[in-house]
Structure 1
Amino acid sequence: MADSTHAIPAGTRRAGTRPGPVRVRRARGDTLVAAVAAAFTLAQLLLVRTAMGLGWDESIYVSQVSAHAPAAYFSAPRARGVSLLVAPVASWSSSTVLLRVYLAVLSGLALYLALRVWRHMFGSGVLALAGALFASLWVTLFYGPQAMPNYWVAIGALACAGCFPRARTDPRDHAALWGLAGGAALMALMRPMDAVWAVLPLLVLALLERHGKPIAALLAGLAAGSAEWVIEAFVGYGGLLQRLSDGSAIQGGLGWHFAVADQLRSLGGRALCRPCTGAQPNPAVTAWWYVLPLLALLGLVLAVRARRTPPTLIALACAATAAFPYLFLIGYAAPRFLLPAYVLLALPAADALVHLVRAPNGGWRRLAVSLVALGLAGHLAVQYAVLAHTVHRTTADRRVWSGTAATLHGLGVRPPCLLAGEEAIPIAFYTGCGSASTSGPNTNSTPAAIEQAARRLPVAALTTADGTPPAYARTWPSHRYGDLRLYVAPRARESSGL
């Protein structure tokens, strides 16, 4: 009875009673997704060496906030989101191990939170499998603990696409609106143009349906995330249009380029395929690249039949627009470029796989389970093989940079100092020096300025072993290290007592 002293107010639960089945299922689902995210973090720490030195791009991003070396030149396409991301560690510690652990933990937590956004649209098994499919890709594991922007664009895209259906159906869902704004801001903070491509279907759909609040949330997020990049364009790059033009030129000129074959070549473990020549990897390495979109399309068919089309269609549309510029507008490839597309395709693909193992009855179900399990086992084996090869090669390459830095220290090139020439940017970071370039996309100096700097601080010019030194360094003593020849200004040698 309503007036009974034993009546329980709506929304409350008597102490000692069991929670409702929906709440129990949701808690179990969260635990399953959390387990996948935790496994992802653990796999990064075990399979990607935490002591692996910083890469070329990483050294640029980290140098902006690190006290270890002067800030490297920041070219037009780059945004400072990664620098802000690593600042809590890099601003006070030069430990690469600590930075890798921090990023691995953060990337696992971010994957968990982004997947949870979809829990009202997909079952916990689908979400956990989607997370596992994405997290098991070698490119995801490799870049999760790295100071690079693409993984974080993927997380922002996943969160944005998941919040949009909720904001679209219930404009009063403030959590969804904040999620839209936050996801868009995260992407724009990392790579502004990637953010625009990723949210394009959401903006178009919201405009067509005249949903004002989702539009406002997306635009507010894009504006907040890209504000620093836009302001910096006017302060240091000659204006927004000039920065966009410079960025396009650095990327080889944006225009029609069929880069699908280039992306396939990069799947064998090439961090950057530019120029992208050579043979295609073994078909076993690239098979998943064909299977993933096919499974995603099957997931769409199943969603249409089950009359739950919008979430799946939104994920596919955002995946398509996020991938489009990297498949058709630039003339080179890197596997990390397509991470946003992969994570969005993983949702309908996982939905299709779950359907394949649950739908049949009797012996057909056992066959389906066996085939899917066999396929996933083969997928994991291939991904691990590529990852192990890539980590081994990358670690060896970065040890060479570290060895070059140690050699330069022995030759008297110690901070404050300046490096120019071949691979000067990453080696300068390892050495603790500034870097200078007189040509190419990172031009920030002139030969005269470098020559003048050599009169007051240690300077070295780096060339390939058989390369010609710049005019200002032709009389400098040279030393061979690996595939490089190091031309060291006399002042540095004098300071070292050589």
Structure 2
Amino acid sequence: MAHGTNALPIGRQRGAPANPSGARRTRGVRPLAAVAAAFTLAQLLLVVPGAAADLGPGFGLGLGWDETVYVSQVSAQAPPAFFSAPRARGVTLLVAPVASWSTSTTLLRAYLALLSGLGLYLALRVWRGLFPTRVLALAGALFATLWVTLFYGPAAMPNQWVGLGALACAGCLLRARADHRDRAALWGVAAGAALMAWMRPTDAAWIAPPLLVLALAGRHLRVAAVLAGGLATGVAQWVIEAYTSHGGPLRRLAEGSRIQGGLGWNLAVDDQMRGLIGRALCRPCTGPLPNPVITAWWVLLPLLAALGLAVAVRAGRTAPTLLLLVCATTAAVPYLFLIGYAAPRFLQPVYALLAIPVADALFHLVTRPDGRWRPAAAILTALLLTGHLAVQYVVLDRLVDRTAADRLDWTRTAADLHRLGVRPPCLLTGTEAIPVAFYAGCSSAATSGNNANATEADILGAVRRVPTAALSPPGGPPPHYARAWTRHPAAGLDLHLAPRPDGGGPG
């Protein structure tokens, strides 16, 4: 070889990249980055605007009931709403970087859409080397195109983050077991466990045992300690709050069980199927099951997951697939068999964990053992997936329109309250008082029910200090202490205004 300035090292061709392994790593993550970017873009286009034809241009999807509770803890828009026993502080921490200084719901949703896209990318990336990149990319696409994933991606809600945390934690745990020097994997175990525990400690308690058993089975005590430490960061906060606000952890668990209708044997499989039509909360969950076209994917999911396990056994990746399936099973148990109502978002961790085995199964169906495509199977699978995507889009579109209209009613009710003189500082009680109070900038109070945080004397005492109103269904009776208050109809609610604090008569 010549020794001039144009000489190249042995084995390197002119024009070849200086770091071939780095180039391969970059190419390997591009499909995952593309899926995550498409997921974020779909949220920004389909969900964040929240525009229905009759709502007017530029109307964004307002915050829902639960979202107002989480966001109000750090927002300047309204005083903190009552934080009931089943809730945890993870969502509030997640939204704090934006909600603590801005009251723009659109900005908050855009921030959460970007964050959820990044979370999906990171959760998939930790599985590289354990599964082919094409399997991971398809898994991300399958999860990201479910209507429940798209709808709750930009939402201030915890369930999707539990799923992403579980997926990342499981992948990092496998990597840490395989290479004890992989410090990044250990940090990933801690971060994924902490994310689950901060978002929903009770969900983490169901998902974590298989992970802990796997770590201890191989005597990987360091990995087990890191996992336990990550969980402890969220659980410790929950326990401290249990002592300060709920009378201790056992009483908090009991109260949470009461609010959720009493935990015990409840076959909620059919309830979850009814929720697939786009019912954000199915309680009580009655009525006929949706059209099989809507529920077909949900019925096929466990069958494809089982096929994914068979594929993994033949491909020599049994342990990763089995771990995903076991964690998905334990995550599903409380929401399919222990709670007497349903919400589609409850199963988001299950869908996130099953996505990889299902994608593995689908590739097995459309390819031969030598890697070549099966044309007929590939075309049929592509048609079925196209139909599946169409169903998901229709359900999402109807849900966004319906939800946006409902939350616009809260906005109009808040405007009516302001017009009638109920402005901050103020107090609302009665039907839908929590979300309407957030929109109006008021405090909320309840003397009974799951959000009871005041007595009748407290509310009557507030009447003498701040503008106060009780809300009731149209034509329905207000709380008995507000029967003499002045009634005003509003958007979907009746407003009962207490006498003004200054003695100037009814509001």
| TM tier, smaller | over 0.9
Report what 2:30 is aligned to: 31
Matched, 1:80 2:89: yes
What is the correspondence of 1:108-187 to structure 2 with a 5 Å cutoff? 108-187=117-196
Shift of 1:201: 0.8
Report what 2:4 is aligned to: none
For residues 77 and 492 of structure 2, what CA distance do their matches in structure 1 show?
25
For residues 255 and 198 of structure 1, what CA distance do their matches in structure 2 show?
19
8 Å CA contact 2:427, 2:468 repeated in 1: yes
Structure 1 residues 477, 203: closer, same or farther in 2, change over 3 A? same
* Match among 244, 262, 267 for residue 258 of structure 1: 267
Indicate the SS of the match to 2:396: helix
Structure 1 residues 43, 493: closer, same or farther in 2, change over 3 A? farther
8 Å CA contact 2:263, 2:339 repeated in 1: yes
What is the correspondence of 1:428-439 to structure 2 with a 5 Å cutoff? 428-439=437-448
Shift of 1:207: 2.7
For residues 124 and 505 of structure 2, what CA distance do their matches in structure 1 show?
55
Structure 1 residues 415, 362: closer, same or farther in 2, change over 3 A? closer
Shift of 1:474: 1.2
For residues 371 and 144 of structure 2, what CA distance do their matches in structure 1 show?
32
For residues 230 and 53 of structure 1, what CA distance do their matches in structure 2 show?
32
For residues 505 and 303 of structure 2, what CA distance do their matches in structure 1 show?
62
Shift of 1:120: 1.2
Structure 1 residues 434, 31: closer, same or farther in 2, change over 3 A? same
What is the correspondence of 1:357-396 to structure 2 with a 5 Å cutoff? 357-359=366-368, 365-396=374-405
- Offset from partner CA, 1:238-260 (integer Å, 9 cap, x none): 11111111111111111111110
Shift of 1:359: 1.3
For residues 505 and 315 of structure 2, what CA distance do their matches in structure 1 show?
75
Report which stretch shifted further, 415-424 or 232-241.
Answer: 232-241
Report what 1:49 is aligned to: 48
Shift of 1:100: 0.6
* Match among 70, 92, 108 for residue 61 of structure 1: 70
8 Å CA contact 1:412, 1:496 repeated in 2: no
Structure 1 residues 218, 469: closer, same or farther in 2, change over 3 A? same
What is the correspondence of 1:459-474 to structure 2 with a 5 Å cutoff? 459-474=468-483
Amino acid at match of 2:468: V
8 Å CA contact 1:59, 1:425 repeated in 2: yes
8 Å CA contact 1:411, 1:492 repeated in 2: no
Shift of 1:26: 2.9
Report what 2:250 is aligned to: 241
8 Å CA contact 2:116, 2:154 repeated in 1: yes
Instruction: Give the aligned CA root-mean-square deviation in angstroms.
Output: 2.3
8 Å CA contact 2:465, 2:501 repeated in 1: no
Matched, 1:298 2:312: no
Amino acid at match of 1:253: G
Amino acid at match of 1:490: P
Report which stretch shifted further, 45-54 or 263-272.
Answer: 45-54
Of all paired residues, the percent bearing the same amino acid is 66
Which structure 1 residue ranges, 4+ long, deviate > 4 Å from structure 2? 6-9, 12-17, 19-23, 360-364, 492-498
For residues 67 and 500 of structure 2, what CA distance do their matches in structure 1 show?
30
Structure 1 residues 325, 362: closer, same or farther in 2, change over 3 A? closer
Report what 2:54 is aligned to: none
Structure 1 residues 495, 427: closer, same or farther in 2, change over 3 A? farther
Shift of 1:166: 1.4
Matched, 1:92 2:101: yes
What is the correspondence of 1:409-424 to structure 2 with a 5 Å cutoff? 409-424=418-433
Indicate the SS of the match to 1:491: coil
For residues 186 and 55 of structure 1, what CA distance do their matches in structure 2 show?
22
Indicate the SS of the match to 1:435: strand
Shift of 1:482: 3.4
- Offset from partner CA, 1:378-416 (integer Å, 9 cap, x none): 010000000001000000000001111001111110000
Indicate the SS of the match to 1:213: helix
For residues 127 and 163 of structure 1, what CA distance do their matches in structure 2 show?
15
8 Å CA contact 1:411, 1:496 repeated in 2: no
For residues 501 and 228 of structure 2, what CA distance do their matches in structure 1 show?
52
Indicate the SS of the match to 2:229: helix
* Match among 268, 276, 293 for residue 284 of structure 1: 293
Amino acid at match of 2:17: R
For residues 14 and 87 of structure 1, what CA distance do their matches in structure 2 show?
52
8 Å CA contact 1:276, 1:332 repeated in 2: yes
For residues 186 and 362 of structure 1, what CA distance do their matches in structure 2 show?
38
Report which stretch shifted further, 295-304 or 352-361.
Answer: 352-361
For residues 494 and 123 of structure 1, what CA distance do their matches in structure 2 show?
73
For residues 393 and 445 of structure 1, what CA distance do their matches in structure 2 show?
32
Indicate the SS of the match to 1:272: coil
8 Å CA contact 2:497, 2:506 repeated in 1: no
Query: Number of residues paired by the alignment?
Result: 492
For residues 84 and 125 of structure 1, what CA distance do their matches in structure 2 show?
34
Shift of 1:165: 1.4
Amino acid at match of 2:141: A
For residues 93 and 485 of structure 1, what CA distance do their matches in structure 2 show?
30
Shift of 1:116: 0.2
8 Å CA contact 2:412, 2:491 repeated in 1: no
Normalised by the length of structure 2, the TM-score is 0.93
Shift of 1:354: 1.5
What is the correspondence of 1:434-453 to structure 2 with a 5 Å cutoff? 434-453=443-462
